[in-house]
């Protein structure tokens, strides 16, 4: 038996879930303990999750769930999964992208050779338009970076293995970077951006972080007990943004804009401004209150609303808008 055959046999022996001692393996294959140790090291180097326990009752075994039972998919089921992967690939960043490619190759290999060529080039028959940039809401489009991919991958690994993730997070409104220790709960894809939901260890709150704003990340050795009551569905429908906006109101100045009832109806249909506060003003107008996270949001909004809207405050924003409108008036006179 050569070293490759022996390593495969050791792999199968360890898959039973019980600890197998190095002495047992040595006697089973008629080799020295040193050879068994080299075989185990070779398996670990190949990415096999070997768990080791020390002591008289110690030994080796595979991590639970490493070897999965075979899944039998028919041609249509496999084609449906491959089509879904093609739709998924339109995203510029996706979780565990390299693992997704490996899974796709395995799916194709499980099919009859007659359909290999067709499904191996699924992008030739299935097309998806990418989400266009939202020029009205600045900051909702970002270019993919390796750090973004790493943050998303680390978060998913932490989620699957119930391990905390530590990362440095850039806050654009404060222009600072702060370290966070988070227990992953789930991920949200919204408008071509990934948002990471997790329990912040420092505040004991479930917060949502934009993956592209993570500057560095690592999966820590600290494990946690998953929250059986949590579901990412509870954060959809803009719930996560609504909660974030309430926090921003405490940390930022709040702009007040007098608008008509018709304008309020339009803004309440917007993905972002529908989470602002709308207060009654007169019979025909309302006052919208929205946190000022940047002038690039508020001033373009008021210009877009037109002369029926009035920016009531903060005073410095009102003055800046007046200067801009004066310059525009002079240019168009």
Q: Return d(Cα 95, Cα 106) in angstroms, integer.
A: 18
State the pLDDT at residue 130.
67
Give mean pLDDT, residues 130-135. Answer: 68
State the pLDDT at residue 81.
73
Q: Which of 24-28, 44-48, 281-285 has the lowest mean pLDDT?
A: 44-48
Q: What is the pLDDT of residues 141-195, one digit of tens each?
A: 677 788 888 998 999 999 989 999 999 999 877 788 999 999 999 998 887 788 9
Give mean pLDDT, residues 244-268. Answer: 91
* pLDDT cut 90: percent of the chain above it: 34
Q: Return d(Cα 182, Cα 180) in angstroms, integer.
A: 6
Estimate the crossing angle of helix 3-14 against helix 33-45, to 10 degrees: 80
State the pLDDT at residue 136.
67
pLDDT at residue 68 tops 60: no
State the pLDDT at residue 192.
77
Q: Confirm if 242 and 249 have CB atoms less than 8 A apart.
A: no
Q: Strand order in 214-223's β-sheet? A: 205-210, 193-200, 176-190, 163-171, 214-223
Q: What is the pLDDT of residues 296-324, one digit of tens each?
A: 678 888 999 999 999 999 999 999 999 99
pLDDT at residue 13 tops 90: no
Strand partners, 219: 165
Two tokens, residue 221: 């050795």
174 or 286, which is more confident? Answer: 286
For residue 151, the number of C-alpha atoms closer than 13 Å in the C-beta half-sphere is 28
């Amino acid at each position: 038996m050569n070293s490759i055959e022996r390593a495969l046999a050791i792999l199968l022996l360890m898959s039973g879930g019980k600890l197998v001692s190095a002495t047992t393996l040595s006697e089973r294959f008629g080799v020295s303990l040193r050879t068994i140790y080299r075989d185990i090291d070779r398996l670990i180097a190949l990415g096999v999750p070997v768990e080791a326990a020390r002591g008289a009752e110690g030994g080796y075994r595979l991590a639970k769930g490493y070897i999965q039972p075979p899944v039998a998919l028919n041609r249509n089921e496999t084609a449906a999964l491959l089509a879904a992967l093609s739709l998924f690939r339109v995203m510029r960043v996706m979780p565990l992208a390299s693992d997704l490619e490996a899974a796709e190759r395995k799916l194709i290999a499980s099919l009859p050779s007659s359909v290999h060529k067709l499904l191996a080039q699924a992008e030739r028959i299935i097309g998806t338009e990418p989400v266009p940039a939202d020029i009205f809401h600045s900051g909702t489009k970002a270019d993919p970076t390796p750090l973004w991919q790493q943050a998303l991958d680390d978060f998913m690994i932490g989620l699957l293995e119930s391990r905390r993730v530590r990362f440095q997070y850039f806050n654009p409104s404060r222009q600072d970077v702060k370290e966070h220790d988070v227990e992953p709960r789930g991920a949200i894809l919204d408008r071509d951006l990934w948002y990471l939901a997790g329990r912040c260890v420092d505040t004991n709150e479930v917060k949502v972080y934009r993956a592209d704003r993570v500057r560095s990340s690592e999966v820590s050795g600290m494990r946690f007990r998953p929250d059986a009551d949590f579901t990412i569905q509870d954060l959809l429908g803009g719930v996560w943004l609504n909660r974030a906006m309430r926090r921003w109101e405490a940390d930022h100045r709040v702009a007040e804009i007098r608008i008509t009832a018709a304008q309020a109806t339009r803004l309440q249909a917007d993905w972002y401004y529908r989470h602002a506060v709308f207060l009654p003003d007169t019979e025909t107008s309302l006052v919208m209150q929205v946190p000022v996270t940047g002038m690039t949001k508020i001033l373009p909004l008021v210009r877009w609303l037109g002369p029926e809207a009035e920016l009531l405050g903060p005073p410095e924003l009102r003055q800046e808008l007046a200067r801009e409108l004066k310059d525009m008036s002079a240019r168009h006179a």
